[in-house]
Amino acid sequence: MLYRRAKDMQPTPIEHCMGGEGTVLMEKLLDAPAEMLGKGRAYVRHTIRPGVSIGSHTHEHEMETMVVVSGRARHVINGEEQLLEEGDIIGAMPGDTHQIECLGDEPLVVIAQVLYE
């Protein structure tokens, strides 16, 4: 069994995440790959403040899903722009290239999971 209290989690600042702008705050929800049964490399919560982004990157031999918990985002995947809001889900499949940035005045909070192919 795994159990973590939100108040005990400490965010890790990541400056210029994947070449993006500003500082993304990342909280590890699972200690990957051990707590993901060796099936993935990340299960995290990102807080992305206005003006901050995760830069363009390609997923090789893995897929990433993101759920928008709160806020609004501009997501570009393989050159296609998508506007995201609370409750939306995206999936970047092996070989896809994408980036995401916070839109508006409220922070963007996403839960991201990266699984091996």
Question: By CB neighbour count within 10 A (0-12 exposed, 13-18 middle, 19+ buried), where does 7 fall?
Answer: exposed
Q: Quick one: average pLDDT of 51-72? A: 98
Tokens of 7: 């108040």
Q: Quick one: average pLDDT of 87-96? A: 98
Cα 31–chain centre separation: 15
- SS3 string, 28-49, reads ECCCCCHHHCCCEEEEEEEEEC
What architecture (CATH level 2) is domain 11-109? Sandwich (2.60)
Provide the pLDDT confidence category of residue 101 given band limits of 50, 70 and 90: very high
Whether residue 2 is predicted with pLDDT greater than 90 in this model: the reply is no
The pTM of the whole model exceeds 0.75: yes
- pLDDT tens for each residue of 10-39: 999 999 999 999 999 999 999 999 999 999
